[in-house]
Structure 1
Amino acid sequence: MNDHSAPRATSAGPLGRRTFLAATGAAAAGAAWAVTAGGRAHAAPAQASSFAVPLDTVPHTRTWMAWPDSSAIWGRQLAGVQANIALIAKTIAKYEPVTVCANSAGVAKAQTACGPAVTVIGSIPVDDCWMRDTGPAFRTDGAGGLDTVGLNFNGWGNKQTHAKDALVAQRIAASLGVPFTSAGLVGEGGAVETDGAGTLMATRSSLINTNRNPKLKQAQIEAALCAAFGADQVIWFNGVTGRDITDDHVDATSRFLAAGAGLVQMPTATDNDAWSKDARQQYQILSAAKDADGDPIAVTQIQSPDYGRIRSSDPNFVAAYANYYVCNGAVISAQFGDSRADAAAKSSLQRLFPGRVVEQLNIDSLGAGGGGIHCVTQQQPRP
């Protein structure tokens, strides 16, 4: 089987992609696939201030992460997830500073696990580890300015407890003494990809959803996204609704490599479930799209592993090479035990990111919990 989304464990206990659907009784919704352009008129607030979220390949000041400590959320998976978070933090710390937010009672354990090269702080409490979704998006203005925007995290449509995580974005901004703005919509960082040059990618299933934005139409959500990210247009994918707790985040399937260049993780030829169809359609739409400058987007494919060859037998496992994280001098990716696909993915990433070291990590506990390396990291770019 093939899975390109990023499900999460819920507050009722660890639930994967399939079991989440069964537990909630949610049904997948459908809508026409299309590329929506013409967002330039909506982007005036962001363009007036000239702040925009840059591409993740720009130099970073640090990486932000979060330390999970809730057995109510993770159950028996908690120790494995903590070990994965520590491994990711230690690996990134070889290339740039890493700050991990932890609850005060968990600081000592997190510091011991992550090692001395990682900074662990107890001043910003957290519910879970998904810093991509809960942390602020950092914006720069090209003239030494830095600010932040928060996407009003609501627990992926109030599916998980989020009292602490709802405040993480503004608390990080306050700790740095940089301006913070709340976006005009509810969403998560994993739901949006930016090329840093005016073009965004997102799924309707996650953002145009009554569990996040019940009173907003697509045009209003697009305007709010463009204003928040300093962009001009959104390439919309339909996505997959109600099958995982995120309602199908784009960052497990499609990524921007640069302005005018993207990447899509493709399923194996025999996979034909909802996620596989979603990935193929994302590839078709992105390949036919033009960016904010009116230029075509060159799209590279990265091959999914064969789910019959990976280490995990969990039917809800997420094996997303596309959920890599770019840091200073390196690309931190996952490997899943399909040796042929793992090697091919590493080779592809090395070709796509020349001059950077590609590190492949075993993060199977996070995969079983529905996410990956990009999901648990948030970059702070240099101003």
Structure 2
Amino acid sequence: MVWKMPHEGMEHERTWMAFPREGITLGDGAEWREGGYRAWADVALAIAEFEPVTMIVDPSERRRAANMLGGAVELVEAPLDEYWMRDCGPTFALDDERPGVLGAVDWIFNGWGAPDWASWGKSALIAEFIAERLGCERLPSLLVNEGGGIHVDGEGTILLTETVQLDRRRNPFADKQRVEAEMARLLGATRAIWLPRGLTRDYDDLGTNGHVDIVATMPSPGRILLHQQTDAAHPDHAISAELKHLLAGERDAAGRSFEIIDLPAPSTLRDDGGFVDWSYVNHVVVNGGVIACGFGDEYADARAREILEDAYPGRAVVTVEARPIFARGGGIHCITQQQPAVARAEHPER
């Protein structure tokens, strides 16, 4: 068995999501909660225009999900507490030696480092639930990790963050060598590139402590889309410059240096919670399209669409309002997880 995680731009069988349920992450007040439900539903409906979507729904939210999603999205009941599918759900891989064989990596999920506010016991079982439902091979791991903490190019390169996989609240005995060995075993990653940290807001209570999927992604081998904060008044201005300098000196698994494409942040610097981490990097690639985050900034949203259209040629880029998702600690990429098609597909265009 040689497991390999395909690039996100490869053909998908479907996208998996989980519907919000009442709790700390969703928040208090009917209007505020409705904004969360609406944001998740809008993302699902946008993706459903391109490929099938299966939504895991806690039994307590079945009626609401059915009313908001209609027949456009498949609903599957399972107990949930958290509902960030990228993180609690499986990371899918294909077996290079057995074409057509799908594997579901089941990381240990502990609510992003077992913070006091989080409840994760039910959602920690979702990866196994999905693997059983699909009848695919479950690939258990002893590593605490989340899907938002990794990005791959499908050719052996993986992006990681030192404050995530090496977080002592997640993996107190891990070092880079152990983490890289697990990424090689389960995802086929032979070249790990470690970022020293993530964006400032991501270290707040509801943050992930530095997920890479809000900072950088590889739209195709040899290329990196990198979050760029252009305003020196924001602390991420220095962080994005540091990461650009680091990545400029790195090479991928094939020995190539990276073409780095800046993806500028919107103009808003702060909200009621402090400096924002609004990032267009946190998009999701779907069959024939890209679902991009929107932040109510007409100019910046349009500029991001243009950059993404160029980075993913031939795909339609659709913007969906993402501020209610970011207010809860993540973005569009964080609430989705692609299931690759088992048939071989050509490499995404450069």
| Residue among 314, 338, 343 paired with 1:379 | 338
Kindly indicate whether the alpha-carbon contact (under 8 Å) linking 1:52 and 1:196 is maintained by their aligned counterparts in 2. Answer: yes
Structure 2 unpaired stretches of 5+ = 343-350
In the alignment, which residue of structure 1 is the partner of 2:174? Answer: 216
Kindly indicate whether the alpha-carbon contact (under 8 Å) linking 1:150 and 1:180 is maintained by their aligned counterparts in 2. Answer: yes
1:71–1:316 distance in 2 versus 1, CA, 3 Å: farther
Residue 27 of structure 2 aligns to a residue whose secondary structure is helix
1:281–1:227 distance in 2 versus 1, CA, 3 Å: farther
Residues 26-37 of structure 1 mapped to structure 2, 5 A cutoff: none
Residues 127-206 of structure 1 mapped to structure 2, 5 A cutoff: 127-142=81-96, 143-159=99-115, 160-206=118-164
What CA RMSD, in Å, does the superposition of the two structures yield over aligned residues? Answer: 1.7
Structure 1 residue 53 and structure 2 residue 5: aligned? yes
1:314–1:217 distance in 2 versus 1, CA, 3 Å: closer
- 1:166-215 Cα offsets, whole Å, 9 max, x none, are 11111100110111011241111101111111010011011111101101
Kindly indicate whether the alpha-carbon contact (under 8 Å) linking 1:111 and 1:119 is maintained by their aligned counterparts in 2. Answer: no
Structure 1 residue 237 and structure 2 residue 195: aligned? yes
Equivalent AA in structure 2 for residue 345 of structure 1: A
- 1:322-368 Cα offsets, whole Å, 9 max, x none, are 00000011100011122221111011111111111100011221121
Equivalent AA in structure 1 for residue 126 of structure 2: V
C-alpha distance in 1, partners of 2:276/2:65? 25
C-alpha distance in 1, partners of 2:81/2:179? 27
Residue 96 of structure 1 aligns to a residue whose secondary structure is coil
C-alpha distance in 2, partners of 1:72/1:87? 21
Greater mean deviation of Cα atoms: 204-213 or 225-234: 225-234
Structure 1 unpaired stretches of 5+ = 1-48
C-alpha distance in 2, partners of 1:359/1:313? 27
Equivalent AA in structure 2 for residue 373 of structure 1: I
In the alignment, which residue of structure 1 is the partner of 2:53? Answer: 98
Equivalent AA in structure 2 for residue 118 of structure 1: V
Kindly indicate whether the alpha-carbon contact (under 8 Å) linking 2:226 and 2:262 is maintained by their aligned counterparts in 1. Answer: yes
Residue 84 of structure 1 aligns to a residue whose secondary structure is helix
C-alpha distance in 2, partners of 1:166/1:316? 30
Structure number with higher helix proportion: 1
Paired residues in the alignment total 331
In the alignment, which residue of structure 2 is the partner of 1:37? Answer: none
Residue 355 of structure 1 aligns to a residue whose secondary structure is coil
TM-score using structure 1 length: 0.83
Residues 1-383 of structure 1 mapped to structure 2, 5 A cutoff: 49-76=1-28, 77-122=32-77, 124-142=78-96, 143-159=99-115, 160-240=118-198, 243-244=203-204, 245-273=207-235, 275-308=236-269, 314-315=273-274, 317-383=276-342
Kindly indicate whether the alpha-carbon contact (under 8 Å) linking 1:134 and 1:165 is maintained by their aligned counterparts in 2. Answer: yes
C-alpha distance in 1, partners of 2:213/2:241? 15
Residue 158 of structure 1 aligns to a residue whose secondary structure is coil
- 1:131-183 Cα offsets, whole Å, 9 max, x none, are 00011011113521211111211111111110111111111001101110112
TM-score using structure 2 length: 0.90
1:103–1:285 distance in 2 versus 1, CA, 3 Å: same
Kindly indicate whether the alpha-carbon contact (under 8 Å) linking 1:199 and 1:231 is maintained by their aligned counterparts in 2. Answer: yes
C-alpha distance in 2, partners of 1:202/1:281? 15
| Deviation beyond 3 Å, 4+ runs, structure 1 | none
- 1:265-299 Cα offsets, whole Å, 9 max, x none, are 100132441x3333222222222111112111211
In the alignment, which residue of structure 2 is the partner of 1:38? Answer: none
Structure number with higher strand proportion: 2
